Structure 1
Amino acid sequence: MTVLGCPQEYRAIVHWRGGSRPFTSPSVKSLTDVRWNRTLNDTSEASVVVSKGQAGAECCGLLGQVEPYAHELTLYRDTELVWQGPVTRTVESRGQFTVEAKDVTEWLARTVNVTALRYVSTNPADPMHRGPVQEIAQTIVRLNMEGGLFASEPDWARILPYIVRQDDTVVTSFEKDGSDDASAWLVPILQIFDDELVTRGLEYTAVGRSLVLGRPQTTADLAQARLTLDHIAGDVQIIRDGASGATLVWVTNQTDQEISGTQFGLSGVVSQIYGRLDTLVRTQAEGLTAYDLWQLARASYNGRYPMPTSLAIPQGSSLAATAPVTMRQLVPGVRIDVSATGMCSSASQPYRLSDVDVEWSDGAGEEVGVSLIPIGEPYTGDPP
């Protein structure tokens, strides 16, 4: 059985943009502190602290030449690449040099969309046809990254070969345009993800150099690992919060001033357990169809029924080295089952991994913290 284990060492390498050609690598003995994380639907961060006295004059001189966005930081846990992304900031003091970086989604946050967004065609030959929201997300990235007037070279960030998709089964129709149906929405690509595509069922994260475009896991998906409380070092809390529960989720474009000519989307179940327990979401987005509103309701319903029971791992707790899961499996969004025996609220429940937070320091070793959110029943209901 594979387990999380304890690394013997961490290594940090500074690469040129693209993550392939090395620039410099501080010696292992000069690394005093390493921090990195993985997160769902957000940009993760990493940092390394180098002791200048241990690094030596030659390495120190190269570190002084590290340029934000011209270089990238790569972290290895023993021999396994666990994190990579562009350097965003360096800080030097008398005794140490700190390199800070963000994962590869930072390239999407710093690239403004210059393509029209009209994913409404039913023709598969049309590059902007309807399809799974994950395919639409990849197409938006590809059309913006493959070159054009404003790019120094095609795929200057070296993202396109490292996109991994897990498609939803639902076809998405999405458009964001001006009255001429050809205007580009001038916002960062990552804002399109956050404002428009996540609400339609997209989940994104970065693992190493890979950009993972996935979907919310359900009870039908296989678990990557099955943990017990013995695999968690520290205290835990089991929380059953009714404020997050719902049997029906309504999404409408009605406002307090205008209710005529508006529409709604609905997803959920008729429950014999809870009776009727509604959640209402209002959206001011323009041009939404009844199908769009149903998609928003469908995405908002996940994790609300049955009543969500979350497992909270307080700050300072971490996974034990004996946990039967590898670092490669700790990808935000995957299903991880936890059996909480020996508690008043004994429960075995499927969860989605939302965050991984890792700290390593010279002498103290490694701590791996995780955050888990409950998986509800799969989406229900047919589109309008």
Structure 2
Amino acid sequence: MAQLGCAQEYRAIIHWRGGSLPFTSPSGSSLTSVRWTRTINDLSEATITIAKGAAGADCCGKLGQIEPYVHELTIYRDSELVWQGPVLRVTEKRTAFIVEARDVVEWLGRTNNTTLLRYVSTNPADQMHQGPIQEIAETIIRLNLEGGLFASSPDWPRMLDYIARQDDPTVSRFEKDGSADTNVWIVPILQILDDELVPRGLEYTTVGRALLLGRPQTVSDPAQARLGLDSFTGDIEIVRDGAAAASLVWVTNQNDQEIANTQYGVSGVVSAAYGRLDTLIRTQAEGLTAYDLWQIARGTYPGRNPVPTSLRVPDGARLAVTAPVTMRQLVAGVRIDVAAPEMCMAVTQPYRLSDVEVEWSDTGEDVGISLVPIGYPFTSPPP
């Protein structure tokens, strides 16, 4: 059975933008600490600390030339590439040199959209057509990064060959500000993902250089691993929290001053167990139709019914080296089952991996994870 194991070594390489051409690499003896994360629907980060005395004069000179966004940081766990992204900040102290970086999603946060957002056509031959929300997200990214008036070169961050998708079976329709609007929404691409597409069911994360555009996992998706209490060191918490529960999710563009000519969308099931257990989400985004609001309600519903039971790994609790899961399987968003029959709540249920946080130093490696319950999907017909 595969196990997490304990890393024998970590290596860090500074690459030129694009992640293929090396610029410099600190020696193993000078790399004193490494921290890196994986997360869902957010930027992950990495930091390395280098002892200047052990690095030597030549390496120190190279470190002094590291330029944010010109260079990228790559981290290897033994021989496996586990993290990569543009350098954000370099800090030099008397005895140490610190390099901080963000994953490749940072490029989407620093590139403004220059395309129309009208994915309303039902003709698959059209460049902008209705489809899975993951396909729409990839198209928006591609159209912005392929080139154009403001591009220094086609695909300057070298991302397009590293996009992978897991599509939702539901076809989505998406446009910004209605069919009569022919203006470009000038915001970072990442803001379009976060504000418009994630509420409609998109999930994004990175593994190494790969950008994964997926969907929330459900009970019908296979589990990457099955963990027990002996898979964790230290304490864990099982929390059944009704604050996040709902049998019906409502989304409306009404506000306290204006309710005329507004719309709403609703998704969920009427629950005999809970009665009416509603959650209301208000949005002030312009140009949303009833269909758009239903999409947001549908994307928000999973994980609310039944009342979610979450497994929390407090500070100090980490995965054991014998945990039956490999680092390659610890991808944010995947399903991981947990069985804890010895607890009073007797949890045996599927979870979604939301975060991974890894720290390595001369004292060894700590791997922490966060898990949230997987919701039961509900697909109602659109309005």
- Shorter-chain TM-score range: over 0.9
CA distance in 2, matches of 1:283, 1:91: 41
Between stretches 341-350 and 208-217, larger displacement belongs to: 341-350
CA distance in 2, matches of 1:134, 1:181: 23
Contact 2:107 2:157 survives alignment (8 Å): yes
CA distance in 2, matches of 1:245, 1:268: 11
Between stretches 340-349 and 96-105, larger displacement belongs to: 340-349
Hey, which bits of structure 1, 4+ residues long, moved more than 4 A?
177-180
Could you tell me which residue of structure 1 aligns to residue 375 of structure 2?
376
Could you tell me which residue of structure 1 aligns to residue 205 of structure 2?
205
Contact 1:229 1:341 survives alignment (8 Å): no
1:13 CA displacement: 0.3
Between stretches 250-259 and 90-99, larger displacement belongs to: 250-259
Q: Secondary structure at the match of 2:88?
A: strand
Could you tell me which residue of structure 2 aligns to residue 75 of structure 1?
75
Matches within 5 A, 1:168-247: 168-177=168-177, 181-247=181-247
1:34 aligns with 2:34: yes
Contact 1:177 1:184 survives alignment (8 Å): no
Q: Secondary structure at the match of 1:91?
A: strand
Matches within 5 A, 1:51-62: 51-62=51-62
Contact 2:163 2:210 survives alignment (8 Å): yes
Equivalent residue letter for 1:369: G
Could you tell me which residue of structure 2 aligns to residue 133 of structure 1?
133
What CA RMSD, in Å, does the superposition of the two structures yield over aligned residues? 1.1
CA distance in 1, matches of 2:343, 2:110: 47
CA distance in 2, matches of 1:147, 1:321: 45
Q: Secondary structure at the match of 2:127?
A: coil
Could you tell me which residue of structure 1 aligns to residue 49 of structure 2?
49
Equivalent residue letter for 1:357: E
Equivalent residue letter for 1:215: R
1:260 aligns with 2:240: no
Contact 1:118 1:177 survives alignment (8 Å): no
Per-residue CA deviations over 1:137-171 (Å, capped at 9, x if unaligned) read 00010000001111111000000000010000111
Q: Secondary structure at the match of 2:136?
A: helix
Between stretches 138-147 and 173-182, larger displacement belongs to: 173-182
CA 1:297/1:357 → structure 2, altered by over 3 Å: closer, same or farther? same
Identical columns (%) = 71
1:257 CA displacement: 2.1
1:229 CA displacement: 0.8
CA distance in 2, matches of 1:77, 1:207: 13
Per-residue CA deviations over 1:46-69 (Å, capped at 9, x if unaligned) read 010001111111111101111100
Could you tell me which residue of structure 2 aligns to residue 112 of structure 1?
112
Contact 1:177 1:185 survives alignment (8 Å): no
Per-residue CA deviations over 1:342-383 (Å, capped at 9, x if unaligned) read 211111011000000000002x11000000110121123221
Contact 1:38 1:356 survives alignment (8 Å): yes
Per the normalisation by structure 2, the TM-score is: 0.98
1:178 CA displacement: 7.7
Unmatched segments (≥5 aa) in structure 1: none
CA distance in 2, matches of 1:62, 1:190: 32
CA distance in 2, matches of 1:189, 1:261: 30
CA distance in 1, matches of 2:344, 2:262: 47
Q: Secondary structure at the match of 2:29?
A: helix
CA distance in 1, matches of 2:262, 2:176: 19
1:330 aligns with 2:336: no
Contact 1:267 1:294 survives alignment (8 Å): yes
Per the normalisation by structure 1, the TM-score is: 0.98
Q: Secondary structure at the match of 2:249?
A: strand
Between stretches 173-182 and 263-272, larger displacement belongs to: 173-182
| Aligned residue-pair number | 383
Could you tell me which residue of structure 1 aligns to residue 316 of structure 2?
316
Could you tell me which residue of structure 2 aligns to residue 64 of structure 1?
64
Could you tell me which residue of structure 1 aligns to residue 280 of structure 2?
280
Could you tell me which residue of structure 2 aligns to residue 156 of structure 1?
156
Q: Secondary structure at the match of 2:107?
A: helix
1:270 CA displacement: 1.7
Could you tell me which residue of structure 2 aligns to residue 166 of structure 1?
166
Equivalent residue letter for 2:70: A
CA distance in 1, matches of 2:72, 2:229: 37
Between stretches 45-54 and 336-345, larger displacement belongs to: 336-345
Per-residue CA deviations over 1:309-356 (Å, capped at 9, x if unaligned) read 000100111101111111111111100000112211111011000000
Could you tell me which residue of structure 1 aligns to residue 294 of structure 2?
294
